[in-house]
Amino acid sequence: DTAVSQTPKYLVTQMGNDKSIKCEQNLGHDTMYWYKQDSKKFLKIMFSYNNKELIINETVPNRFSPKSPDKAHLNLHINSLELGDSAVYFCASSQEPGSTQYFGPGTRLLVL
Amino acid sequence: GDSVTQMEGPVTLSEEAFLTINCTYTATGYPSLFWYVQYPGEGLQLLLKATKADDKGSNKGFEATYRKETTSFHLEKGSVQVSDSAVYFCALMKTSYDKVIFGPGTSLSVIP
């Protein structure tokens, strides 16, 4: 009965690889988000989708590409991984833009 | 640009001590203000919020009052417990379609 789930929970990979992180919410929400949390716990939004449409796109390298196949899913694909991509990535969802956000447990990405 | 500043941690308190975590913000207009909590190994959870000046948000014994004149939203709790050990994030949002801007987080450790 997990509200916002992410897979995988941990991801260890080599520089230059391509990887994807999946997010699913079973709350019936219209809006989903991706955040990056660095090693100092600083949290910054990357993308936001509302009804599968991109509404927030922060200054993020083109190597990061979100995809929302339906309102319940927002996946994050990362090409050519770099050391600096190591972080915890959080997915979140809300009923609509501006309403309370519910966060997933995070995906801990380590790039070697 | 808009920003949120929090007192630096880590903060270490004994059980039943009084807690204050300072938060100030810079933003035009009248943003909504939030406190989120992140327990070890988990995603963020909304702790409380306030949407207009002089509003007081409260939850689980925590309180924060929206002070427009001092652009502050300090978090307080009268008697902390070991289970309150977590990282606390102050945040603001200007409009529904705006991103949430998080402060750097304040780590709290409560010792028995």
pLDDT in tens, B13-22: 999 999 999 9
pLDDT of res. A40: 86
Q: How many angstroms from the chain centroid is the CA of residue A11?
A: 13
Asked if B79 reaches chain A (Cβ–Cβ under 8 Å), the answer is: no
Q: Chain B contacts of A55, Cβ < 8 Å?
A: 97
**Under an 8 A CB cutoff, do B46 and A42 touch?**
no
Using CA atoms, how far apart are residues A11 and A57, in angstroms rounded to an integer? 24
Q: Pick B43's closest partner by Cβ from A45, A55, A105.
A: A105
Indicate the residue type of B61: G
Give the model confidence (pLDDT) of B41-98 as tens digits: 888 999 999 999 999 999 999 999 999 999 999 999 999 999 999 999 999 998 777 7
Q: Which chain A residues touch B42 with a CB distance below 8 Å?
A: 105-106
Contact: A90, B43; criterion CB under 8 Å: yes
Q: Do A90 and B102 touch (CB under 8 A)?
A: no
φ and ψ of B37, to 5 deg:
-125, 140
Angle at A87 between CA B10 and CA A28, to 5 degrees: 100
Partner A contacted by B69 (CB < 8 A): no
Contact A43 B99 (CB under 8 A): no
A25 interaction partners in chain B (CB closer than 8 Å): none
Contact state of B41 with A4 under an 8 Å Cβ cutoff: no
**Number of Cβ within a 10 Å radius of residue A39:** 8
pLDDT tens per residue, range A16-34: 999 999 999 999 999 999 9
Reading the block at residue A28, the tokens are 């019936």
Q: For position A55, what pLDDT does the model report?
A: 87
Output the pLDDT for position A1: 60
User: Cβ distance B105 to A43 under 8 Å?
Assistant: yes
Between A and B, how many CB-CB pairs are < 8 A? Answer: 50
Q: Which residues are within 8 A (CB) of B43 and not within 5 positions of it... i.e. 6 or more apart?
A: A4, A90, A92, A103, A104, A105, A106
Average pLDDT of every residue of chain A:
93
Q: Is A10 on the interface with B (CB under 8 A)?
A: no
Condensed to tens digits (0 to 9), the pLDDT of residues A46-91 reads 999 998 888 888 878 999 999 999 999 999 999 999 999 999 999 9
| Model confidence pLDDT, tens digit, residues A91-102 | 999 998 888 899
CA distance, residue A99 to nearest chain B CA (Å): 7
Q: Inter-chain contact A97–B97, Cβ cutoff 8 Å?
A: yes
